Amino acid sequence: MEGMHTTLSSTGAASRRLLARLRDVMAGSGTGQDRLDKIVMLIAAEMVADVCSCYVMRAGEVLELFSTLGLNKDAVHKTRLRVGEGLVGDIAAHARPIALDNAPSHPNFAYRPETGEDPFQSLAGVPILRGGKVRGVLVIQHADRRHYTEEEVETLQTIAMIVAELVAQGELVDPQEVFSTGDAALLPARLSGVPLNAGLAMGHALVHRPQLTIRQMVADDAERELERLAGALSAMHSAIDDLLAAAALAGLGEPRDILETYRMFAEDRGWLSRIREAIHMGLTAEAAVQQVQNDTRARMSHLTDPYIRERLLDLEDLSNRLLQHLAGKRSEADGGTLPEDLVLVARSMGPAELLDYDRKRLRALILEEGSPSSHVCIVARALDIPVVQCADALTRIEPLDHLIVDGDHGAVFVRPAEDIQMAFTESMATRSRREQEYAATRSLPSVTRDGVPISIQLNCGLLIDLPHLAASGAEGIGLYRTEIPFMVRHTHPDVQQQTELYARVLDEAGDKPVLFRTLDVGGDKMLSYISAGAQENPALGWRAIRIGLDHPSLLRQQLRALLRAAAGRPLSVMFPMIAEVAEFDAARAILDLELRWLERRGAEPPSRVRVGTMIEVPSLLWQLPALLQRVDFLSVGSNDLMQYVFASDRGNPRTANRYDPLSPPMLTLLRRLVEASRDAGKPIGVCGEMAGRPLDAMTLIGLGFRSLSMAPQSVGPVKTMLRSLDVAALRKYLVQLTQGGDHSLRPKLRAFALDHGILI
- DSSP H or E segment with residue 610: strand 609-615
Sign for the pseudo-dihedral over CA of 745, 750, 753, 758: positive
Bridge-based pairing of strands 362-367 and 342-346 is: parallel
- Look at phi and psi of residue 533 and say left if phi exceeds 0, alpha if psi is from -120 to 50, else beta: left
Secondary-structure breakdown of the chain: helix, strand, coil percentages, each rounded to the nearest 5: 50, 15, 35
C-alpha angle 419/421/423, rounded to 5°? 70
Closest of 93, 178, 89, 175 to residue 139, by C-alpha: 89
- Catalytic annotation on 551? no
Q: What is the DSSP letter of 694?
A: H
Q: At what angle do helices 222-249 and 306-327 cross, to 10 degrees?
A: 110
User: What distance in Å separates the CA atoms of residue 344 and residue 386, rounded to the nearest whole number?
Assistant: 11
User: What distance in Å separates the CA atoms of residue 716 and residue 207, rounded to the nearest whole number?
Assistant: 35
Q: Partners of 68 in the beta sheet?
A: 53
- Which of 52, 377, 460, 687 is catalytic? The answer is 687
* Neighbour tally for 536: CB within 10 Å: 6
Helix extents (H) in 510-551: 545-550
Closest of 566, 588, 564 to residue 494, by C-alpha: 564
C-alpha angle 126/129/130, rounded to 5°? 165
Bridge-based pairing of strands 200-207 and 402-406 is: antiparallel
- Catalytic annotation on 375? yes
414: Cα separation from own chain's centroid: 24
Helix extents (H) in 463-514: 467-472, 484-487, 495-509
- Which of 375, 377, 390, 460 is catalytic? The answer is 375
Q: Are 563 and 538 in contact (CB under 8 A)?
A: no
Please give the backbone phi and psi of residue 556, each rounded to the nearest 5 degrees, phi first: -60, -45
- Look at phi and psi of residue 153 and say left if phi exceeds 0, alpha if psi is from -120 to 50, else beta: alpha
| Residue positions annotated with a catalytic role | 375, 687
